[in-house]
Every structure is written in structure tokens, then in C-alpha cells.
Chains A and B, each alone.
Chain A
Amino acid sequence: MSATLNATFEPVVGRYLRMKLQGRSHRIYVEEAGQGIPLLCLHTAGADTRQYRALLNDARILQHFRVVAFDLPWHGKSSPPEGWQDRDYALTSRAYLDTILAVADALALEKPVAMGCSIGGRIALHLALHHAERFRAIIGLEAGAHVDPYYDLGWLHRPDVHGGEVCAGVVSGLIAPGSPDADRWETLWHYMQGGPGVFKGDLHFYTADGDMRGQLGAIDTRKCPLYLLTGEFDYSCTPEDTLEVARRIPGAEAIIMKDIGHFPMSEHPQRFLDYLRPVLEKIRLEKIRGA
């Protein structure tokens, strides 16, 4: 870490990865910090890797984990594919899974821990079902099997409504009332910066294509441990939703986090890290026991 009198570099390094996804060229933004067990982090719908800024700066975790986060195509500093202007974006389970596995392969991550929030929590369940053997452990944040839309998603992408304002306005109540103001508004800023139609496109996966009901029982936690952490103030993926997932998956461990909402790592990072560190420690020691 280098520093001048009033400025300090964080340990986070960001780079662009050129790769093919679903047969198309992509430019994917990747951030990482730390060393050790790879921990691949997946952001929420309509947001980007900045949600993991605290985790990427946590010295205790970075001592044992190589924390990696990437912006999905269309999000953050990852570009949409060429020709984006001629189609509507809609995330599918297949594309989401392919992207995660392709990025993990491109970065040569060996048996990473996968951790995702919201849509990332949902895809974590898909990873646990279809690709358990590739991961050391899987952590679903705000993970439920399904969410029915509770408002008209059409409002999220129309030219007569400011996309940034409406996306952030919709999700603002998902942040717990007691979360620090600075982190609350940083989280909302990310939503205000999303591209037109991107949040809505992600919700195609969240509310339709990514439905995991009826498949949870096939997840085998003997192949890969599964941890589920959900904030008590999340009304999108409620604690009851997560506890129901845990009930249907033998061996899954669920933790309900006090005074946290839908964006734990971003809205109240230090409180979230208090919950996450013991889970990561357990995963780390589990590896040593099995070595």
C-alpha cells in the first residue's frame, strides 16, 4: 500500500478481462484483493462490485482469502455486448451460470467459495444444485427460492421516468432503518447509476426464469457446504423465505442477521462482516480438516 500525506491506495486492484461469453466478445471488469482461498463475490440486481468494497478492504479476511468480484455484463464497468442497442436485456439462469463459471475459469480460481446476494443468492442455489463439485463452499446472501413481482416492473424502464431515480426509489426501503447513512446512500447511488433496463432485466431472472421451487431437495450439501445469511429487514427475500430454503436442503445452515436489510455487504458492511467472518473461518478450517 502506498500513501502520501492525505491519500491512501486501497489494496483493491481492478482490471478488465477480455473474454467470450455465450459466443460473444465481452469486456468484464474484475476487482480483487488478498490471498489464499478464492472467494468469488456476486453483486445484486442492477448494481455492481462496489457493493463488496468493505469485504475487499477487510484485512482479517484478506489474510486468508483472495476476494474476487466482477461486474456482470451490462453492469458497473463491464460493457454490454456489441449490438446491445438493438435488444432488451433479460438475464437467464443459463447465461448467469455460464458467466460465473467462465469468469472463474478465466481467473483460474481453484475450488473457490462462491458468495452472491439477492439474484446472486438465487444463483448460488443454482450453483449448489448443478456445480457443487466446483466449489469449496457456497454462501447465499438474501437467498430465496422465488419472488413474485409485487409491483409493475415496467416502471423500471420507460423513457418518461428517470431510471436511476425509480430503481433506487424502489429498493430504498429494502435497506434496514438503522444502517449507516453513508452506506445507505452509497448503496442507492449504485442503483442510480445502472444502465437503462438493466435492473429490470435482472429481475427477469429473479422473478421468473430463476425459480428454484421444487428443485431445492436435490441440492446435496455433502458435496459442497451451503450457508444462507439473510437480513431481518429484507422484505424481498424475507427471513422466512431463507429459512424455508434451509428447511428443504438437509445440511444447509441459515443465519438471520439483525438490523440488516437486502444489501448486507453494502448497506451495513461492518455489522455484516461480523456475521460473515465466522462463516469464512469455518470454511477455512473445514478445508484444513479435509486436507
Chain B
Amino acid sequence: MAESVLERVNGNERLLRRGQLVNARLLIDTGEVSWLVAIVAGRLASVTRGPFVMPSWDFALRFSGEGWQRYASPDPLPGFNDLFALMKKRLLRVEGNLHPFMSNLFYFKAVLAEFSQAHPQ
């Protein structure tokens, strides 16, 4: 499955163009599973499944289990279709150095959308 999101992102030329200045380690916590995503110049260098003993990351997206399930569903209901919608409902918390995230929102929203398709559970 990890190859799938790698292919989805790394094969998307427009997305790579958007993320060309992104170099970051991102932790995605779906409530049940944690993933570490290493990004180099917008390209996903690696996607590693947890659990982790001492994960090192720049910023983390921590979903509640319900938040991830609803966000990752094929047609999310109103209020669950965007990261900021989940933040407003307190179903997602963003932690760490937020600069890479906030200065590349279109990129990360697209990466998370791809990730949710590849890892709906």
C-alpha cells in the first residue's frame, strides 16, 4: 500500500511543482496507525508504518479515529471533507513546526487526500 501513495504523489507533476520547496518529515496518526512520511523537494522519499519508539518529525497530523474514518471515506459528508473542517470539529490536531504545512497548504491537502485514498483504514 505504501508504494501506492508514493506513486500517486511522485507521479503527479503538478503536485511536485507545488511542493518543490517542501523538505519535511510528517507524522500522520490516523487514531489507529501512525505513519512517518519523509518528503524531499516535494517527492515522497519514504512512507513508513508505525508503531514507532522514537519518531522524529517536523509536524504531525493527529486524527481521531472517527475523524480519519470520515475524512478517508470515498465521499466525505459535509463537515468532514477537509483538514480544516476536522480541525474545527476538534477531530484533527496539527502539532510541531507548522511552517512547512501552512506555507504549502495546497500541497499538503493534496498529499493527505492521496494518502487517505491509499490508506483508508
Number of CB contacts from chain A to chain B under 8 A: 60
Q: How far is the CA of A6 from the CA of B26 in the complex (A)?
A: 50
Query: Which residues of B sit under 8 angstroms from A161, Cβ to Cβ?
Result: 99, 102-103
0 or 1 for each of B82-95: is its CB under 8 Å from A? (1 = yes):
11110111000000
Contact between A173 and B109 (Cβ–Cβ < 8 Å)?
Answer: yes
- Whether A173 lies near B82 (C-beta < 8 A) is yes
- With A155-B98, A160-B99 known as contacts, the answer to whether A177 contacts B105 (CB < 8 A) is no
Say yes or no: A165 contacts B103, CB within 8 Å.
yes
Q: When chains A and B are docked, how far (Å) is the Cα of A239 from the Cα of B77?
A: 13
Does the CB pair B103–A162 fall under 8 Å? yes
Q: Which residues of A contact B104 (CB under 8 A)?
A: 165, 169
How near does chain B come to A172, taking the closest CB pair, in angstroms? 7
Q: Which of B79, B99, B105 interacts with A170 by CB under 8 Å?
A: B105
A232, CB-defined interface residue at 8 Å: yes
Residues 76 to 104 of chain A near chain B (Cβ within 8 Å) = none
Indicate the member of A233, A234, A235, A236 with the most B CB atoms within 10 Å: A235
Give chain A nearest CB distance to B72 CB in angstroms: 14
A9 interface residue per 8 A CB criterion: no
Q: Counting CB contacts under 8 A, is B81 at the interface? A: yes
Q: List chain A residues, Cβ under 8 A from B82.
A: 172-174, 235
Task: Flag if B81 contacts A166 (CB, 8 Å).
Answer: no
Which residues between 64 and 121 of chain B lie within 8 Å of chain A, taking CB atoms?
75-76, 78-79, 81-85, 87-89, 98-99, 102-106, 109
- Contact call B88/A232, Cβ cutoff below 8 A: no
CA distance A53 to B103 in the complex (A): 30
* Interface status of A168 (Cβ within 8 A of chain B): yes
**Residues of A close to B99: CB separation below 8 A:** 160-161
- B58 CB to closest chain A CB (Å) equals 15
A165 engages B78 (CB within 8 Å): no
Contact B88 A172 (CB under 8 A): no
| Cβ of A100 to closest chain B Cβ, rounded Å | 28
B81 contacts A150, C-beta separation under 8 Å: no
Q: Told that A173-B82, A235-B88 touch, could you supply 7 new A-B pairs with CB distance under 8 A?
A: A155-B98, A170-B105, A172-B82, A173-B83, A177-B75, A177-B81, A235-B78
Residues of chain B touching chain A, judged by Cβ–Cβ distance below 8 Å, are 75-76, 78-79, 81-85, 87-89, 98-99, 102-106, 109
Q: What are 20 pairs between A and B in contact, CB < 8 Å? A: A155-B102, A160-B99, A160-B103, A161-B102, A162-B103, A165-B103, A165-B106, A166-B102, A169-B104, A169-B105, A169-B109, A172-B105, A173-B82, A173-B109, A177-B75, A177-B76, A232-B78, A234-B78, A235-B82, A235-B89
